[in-house]
Amino acid sequence: MKEWMSQWGRQPLVIAGPCSAETYDQLYTTAKAVRDQGIRLVRAGVWKPRTRPNNFEGVGEEALFWMDDIRKELDVAFAIEVGNPQHVELALKHDIDVLWIGARSTVNPFTVQEIAEALTGTDKPILVKNPINPELALWFGALERLANRNIKNLGAIHRGFSFFGESRFRNVPAWHMAIELKREMPDLPLICDPSHISGDRNMIQEISQIALDLNYDGLIIETHPDPVNAWSDAKQQVNPAMLHDILRSLRYPEAASEHPEFRNKLEEIRHGIDVADREILEALHRRMQLVDQIGEYKRAHNLTVLDLDRWQEILESRQKWGKHLNLKKSFIRDLYMLIHQGSIRRQTKIMNKD
Ligand code: PEP
Ligand code: MN
């Protein structure tokens, strides 16, 4: 665990507090309630980036004066979002403990660069939320821009990604993207934001548990004394009692790498997985050879690459076979989309060779 993270005691780190600082009393009440649960890092939005105008946009600098007072009185630390160099200047003037860059800023390299320059050399922890669109390079890019300005205490917040259409998530988690970030930057603390992923206070527990099972280093959970009447993100905030229940009900798994006694058993099972994967790849190789044969045949007889009836039949029959093998329909569908795309690509190449 990074030093900047362990200073607030809890492992994994928990950051809790309102989406937005609304009034002195609201902020004080929340900070006290979470501190009484042993949480010492309190989040609160001071300037709120709203997707559409005419929503509450934060109280601005006034909230920083509240934080000055509450911090002294309750011995808590504060984390806030900064969206431009003026925010940075004010946050540093008020000695705010942790700053984060919001999802709508991470998408914009100009904004990130300006913020990074304003932060040059700071030893404050700076957390970078994933960009709203699922583009890993923007997330890396923001972290690199900060690292280039000699900022060492970095972390990432996974808050999910925008999409078009229906989903039970407000922002789909796309867990594999955060895992990819961690694979490239193994020392970077990774914090999950189940509030913005779900958009629903009844899903916070479920998403937090997934994050812990994936070995995340912390959680940031929007907490408000009266969530239903919150001035922003009312549906996803929990009250302090609910936060307490969620944190108590979570299972806190141990990293296998820290337990040599479990290694042998894991290695034995992993060997089985290696063998199964080799079989999968060999079967794919066989399938692609047959695909090439069909491609040659279609070329010789000038037949189309795509045969919709056959593709329809493949999708349906494989989903049915999968069902008997306890494999989810959507999983088989996604898998065959990929396999079919690969097959079409190979056949198209064969059709068009000189
Ligand atoms: C927030 O944390 O309240 C917020 C605005 O988050 P995001 O940048 O993830 O939308
Ligand atoms: Mn919010």
Q: State how many domains the chain has.
A: 2
Clarify whether residues 284 and 214 are in a common domain: no
Last residue of a domain, one of 255, 278, 299: 255
Give the nearest ligand 1 atom to 157 CA. 9
Pocket test of ligand 1: the residue of 42, 51, 81 to mutate, having most ligand atoms within 8 Å of its CB, is 81
Tell me what pLDDT residue 237 has.
98
Which ranges of 217-259 does DSSP label H, i.e. alpha helix? Answer: 240-249
Beta bridge partners of 238: 223
Give the model's confidence band at 263: pLDDT under 50 very low, under 70 low, under 90 confident, else very high.
confident
Distance 324 CA to ligand 2 centre (A): 43
Clarify whether residues 228 and 282 are in a common domain: no
Distance 123 CA to ligand 2 centre (A): 26
C-alpha Rg value of the chain to the nearest Å: 25
Report whether pLDDT(2) > 80: no
Clarify whether residues 251 and 280 are in a common domain: no
- Torsion angles phi and psi, residue 41, rounded to 5: -115, 115
Region 34-40 average pLDDT: 97
Q: Whose CA is closest to atom 4 on ligand 1?
A: 102
Give the nearest ligand 1 atom to 102 CA. 8
CATH number for the domain including 141? 3.20.20.70
Output the CA angle 264-268-271, nearest 5 degrees. 135
Give the nearest ligand 1 atom to 130 CA. 9
- Name residues contacting ligand 1 (CB within 6 A): 19, 45, 49, 102-104, 129, 159, 196
Domain containing residue 341: 262-351
Clarify whether residues 335 and 234 are in a common domain: no
Q: Which residue, 146, 138, 94, is CA-closest to 115?
A: 146
Give the model's confidence band at 62: pLDDT under 50 very low, under 70 low, under 90 confident, else very high.
very high
CATH number for the domain including 290? 1.20.59.10
Give the model's confidence band at 11: pLDDT under 50 very low, under 70 low, under 90 confident, else very high.
confident
Token pair, residue 220, equals 């940031």
Write down the mean pLDDT value for the chain. 96
Clarify whether residues 232 and 297 are in a common domain: no
Report whether pLDDT(257) > 80: no
Over residues 307-322, the pLDDT tens digits come to 899 999 999 999 999 9
Which ligand gives the minimal distance to the CA of 191?
Answer: 1
Report whether pLDDT(178) > 70: yes
Q: Whose CA is closest to atom 10 on ligand 1?
A: 103
Give the model's confidence band at 152: pLDDT under 50 very low, under 70 low, under 90 confident, else very high.
very high
Report whether pLDDT(297) > 70: yes
Last residue of a domain, one of 214, 231, 255: 255
Tell me what pLDDT residue 200 has.
98
Stated pTM of the model:
0.87
Clarify whether residues 82 and 230 are in a common domain: yes
Distance, in Å, from the CA atom of 257 to the CA atom of 178, rounded to the nearest integer, reads 20
Distance 43 CA to ligand 1 centre (A): 11
Distance, in Å, from the CA atom of 24 to the CA atom of 67, rounded to the nearest integer, reads 9
- Bigger pLDDT: 262 vs 27: 27
Give the nearest ligand 1 atom to 106 CA. 8
Report whether pLDDT(93) > 80: yes
Clarify whether residues 275 and 232 are in a common domain: no
Pocket test of ligand 1: the residue of 19, 197, 207 to mutate, having most ligand atoms within 8 Å of its CB, is 19
Region 254-278 average pLDDT: 90
Pocket test of ligand 1: the residue of 87, 99, 129 to mutate, having most ligand atoms within 8 Å of its CB, is 129
Clarify whether residues 94 and 165 are in a common domain: yes
Q: Whose CA is closest to atom 9 on ligand 1?
A: 103
Report whether pLDDT(1) > 70: no
Clarify whether residues 31 and 159 are in a common domain: yes
Give the nearest ligand 1 atom to 105 CA. 8
Clarify whether residues 267 and 209 are in a common domain: no
Query: DSSP of 129-140, one letter per residue?
Result: EPPSSS-HHHHH
Output the CA angle 32-38-43, nearest 5 degrees. 60
Clarify whether residues 107 and 236 are in a common domain: yes
Distance 132 CA to ligand 2 centre (A): 14
Give percent above pLDDT 90 in the chain.
90
Clarify whether residues 222 and 273 are in a common domain: no
Report whether pLDDT(261) > 90: no
Identity of the residue numbered 294: I
Q: Whose CA is closest to atom 6 on ligand 1?
A: 102
Give the model's confidence band at 77: pLDDT under 50 very low, under 70 low, under 90 confident, else very high.
very high
Region 72-87 average pLDDT: 98
Which ligand gives the minimal distance to the CA of 104?
Answer: 1
Region 275-285 average pLDDT: 98
Q: Whose CA is closest to atom 1 on ligand 1?
A: 19
Distance 172 CA to ligand 1 centre (A): 14
Give the model's confidence band at 141: pLDDT under 50 very low, under 70 low, under 90 confident, else very high.
very high
Give the nearest ligand 1 atom to 19 CA. 3
Contact status, residue 157 vs residue 182, Cβ threshold 8 Å: no
Distance 68 CA to ligand 1 centre (A): 22
**Which long-range contacts does 237-243 make (Cβ < 8 Å, 24+ apart)?**
237/18, 237/19, 237/195, 237/201, 238/201, 238/204, 240/30, 240/33, 240/34, 240/37, 242/201, 243/16, 243/34, 243/37
**Which long-range contacts does 297-303 make (Cβ < 8 Å, 24+ apart)?**
298/347, 298/350, 298/351, 299/350, 299/351
Last residue of a domain, one of 255, 274, 300: 255
